[in-house]
Amino acid sequence: MTVDYDVVVVGAGPAGLTSAYHLARKGFSVAVLERGGKPGEKNVMGGVLYLEYFRRAFPDLTPPYEREVEAESHFFISGRSVSTVSLRKYDSKSSAVTLFRAKFDPWLAEIVKREGVTIFTDTLFTGFEEREGKIFVRTDRGDLSARYLVGADGVNSTVAEKSGIHGKLPPENLFASVKMVIRLSQEEIERRFNLSPGRGIIIDIIGHPDFNLPGGGFIYTNRDSISFGTGAKVSFLIRHRVSVFDLLQTLAEHPFISRLIEGGELVEISTHLIPFGYPSFFSPVFARGRVFLTGDAMGSTTGDLSGLPVAFLSGIAVSKTIEELGHSGDSSRLYLRHLAEVGLLKIFRTTRVYHLLFRRSEKVEKYLSKLLFSASLCLNSIGETGIFSEIKEVFKEREKFSFEGREVRDLVQEKLDRRFAEGFITLDEPDRCLKCENKNCLKMCPGKVYEESDSGIVVRDYRCLECGFCRYFCEYDNIKWSYPPGGKGVIYKYG
């Protein structure tokens, strides 16, 4: 016997919860399936929530936040120099807040439950079948049936792949990212970043200390910790055999960055993929039949890699589409119309143009990186003449950046909680590894899941961080990766 709902939503992240909330308020019976033990424990983000978008979806609510943002800064870094451009607003209303997903998602889930939505945690969606005018949804804890299925299951979307809306996203449309949470006292954060009590700063880092690496990163302030992270396109990392920890380590060693993040206690390290610029410009497809995609599962964030605006706007659009269906036959077009109405198609198209112009070709991207590096150098040299008061140079030689005397990559496993699971990652043909020269898995898996032994490659899948990066870096397509069973695997306490 299967339990019957109007709509089954896969994923209790912001996209799934927004979709469920708006559908329930329109009178639909809704079930949400979440593979985590509770919403938020599998999810990662840098931590900036732009309130304008949040209020479009939840006008009367105030989210649990860390700090209201009073300052935004852009750091242009090159070699050992940095130029900063900052905006500080000391008015009472802030347009953004910083937050942790491990707090935000469960809070939003409680609000959604109050609208009558059932959330099944510890439940992994595995596939679906359409018959007799219904969708039979398969999970590792039994089946459900529904009239509509919404895939809000993030960047490695099983719903997108099983429905054929899109396959695995291409590696040039994905960023692999890594983030650290570093605990510092409130007073130290306010002193170090020159902040009013309780207020925060978001810092975008542009460029990289190493001329040959693509640049980018962030530092965001929380109540009593800071979030520091970086990342690069998956295709770049694979082509140049660079791991996310190489990026993190060199960025952390930049003298200006290291003095902002040093001295605290490292409490969490997480890795995740971010989709960027995928949907086609003229004919994007986000639905097929009675199956819809929302949030990261659609295949793109905004131009600055913010995914929450996409999650909120697509959640609103899908609820309007399902409400109107019955009056119109073509769900795909109707969904596009509502995505256009909420402004999301425009955001995607701008992102796509940016992607096509600068990010599609590695040559152009390299030139752009070098141009930025040179521009940073010029700015930094002008800074020496004292034209810009905010331009600073730091020449002090520094030690290798470390926590507890160890490199960050060696601390990952110790800083994570997990519920033990194994058997969800396998090698298709272990013998193929014998002829593999590069052995990307050894260098590039952030969880050190793959190890070399006398008998070949050993898979320690209980160490997996569930980022999905290994679907891309094995040149022989030899790794069969899937999520662990519902409720098992990594638990992010901050996210």
Ligand X SMILES: Cc1cc2nc3c(=O)[nH]c(=O)nc-3n(C[C@H](O)[C@H](O)[C@H](O)COP(=O)(O)OP(=O)(O)OC[C@H]3O[C@@H](n4cnc5c(N)ncnc54)[C@H](O)[C@@H]3O)c2cc1C
Among 30, 31, 44, 69, binds ligand X (CB under 6 A): 44
The structure tokens listed for 285 are: 């497809």
Q: Which whole-number Å values give the CA distances from 369 to 206, 219, 252, 257, 363, in the listed order?
A: 9, 20, 19, 19, 10
Contact between 70 and 195 (Cβ < 8 Å): yes
Read off the amino acid at residue 335: Y
Is residue 440 a contact residue for ligand SF4 (CB under 6 A)?
yes
Cα–Cα dist 204/48, whole Å: 11
Hey, which bits of 173-213 come out as E strands?
Answer: 174-183, 199-206
- Give, rounded to a whole angstrom, the gap between the first and last alpha carbons of the chain: 37
Q: Does 15 bind ligand X (CB under 6 A)?
A: yes
307 binds ligand X (CB under 6 A): yes
Mark the segment that binds ligand SF4 (CB under 6 A) among 49-57, 88-96, 259-267, 442-450. 442-450
Q: Which residues contact 224 (CB under 8 A, 6 or more apart)?
A: 183, 184, 185, 186, 189
> Which of the ranges 95-103, 128-136, 405-413, 428-436 carries the binding residues for ligand SF4, by CB under 6 A?
428-436
484 binds ligand SF4 (CB under 6 A): no
The rounded distance, in Å, linking the Cα atoms of 454 and 459 is: 13
Selected from 468, 484, 486, 489, the binder of ligand SF4 by CB under 6 A is 468
Binding mask 118-157 for ligand SF4 (x = CB under 6 A): ----------------------------------------
Contact 460, 423 (CB under 8 A): no
Distance CA 469, CA 273 (A): 7
- Residue 466 touching ligand SF4 (CB under 6 A): yes
Binding-site string for ligand X from residue 462 to residue 491, where x marks contact by CB under 6 A and - marks none: ---------------------x--------
DSSP per position, 436-470: -SS-HHHHH-TT--EEEETTEEEE-GGG-----TH
What are φ and ψ of residue 460, in 5° steps?
A: -105, 75
Q: Tell me if 80 contacts ligand SF4 by CB under 6 A.
A: no
Q: 34 is in the binding site of which of ligand X, ligand SF4, none (Cβ under 5 to 8 A by kind)?
A: ligand X
Which of 102, 152, 372, 474 binds ligand X (CB under 6 A)? It is 152
Residue entry with tokens 């969708």: 135
Binding status of residue 449 toward ligand SF4 by CB under 6 A: yes
Among 122, 296, 365, 461, contact with ligand X (rule: CB under 6 A): 296
Q: Which of 14, 214, 446, 485 binds ligand X (CB under 6 A)?
A: 14
Q: Which residues bind ligand X (CB under 6 A)?
A: 10-16, 33-36, 42-48, 124-125, 152-154, 158, 177, 179, 229, 272, 274, 295-297, 301, 306-308, 311, 483
Q: Which residues bind ligand SF4 (CB under 6 A)?
A: 425, 427, 432-433, 436, 439-441, 445-447, 449-450, 457, 464-470, 474, 476, 478-479, 481
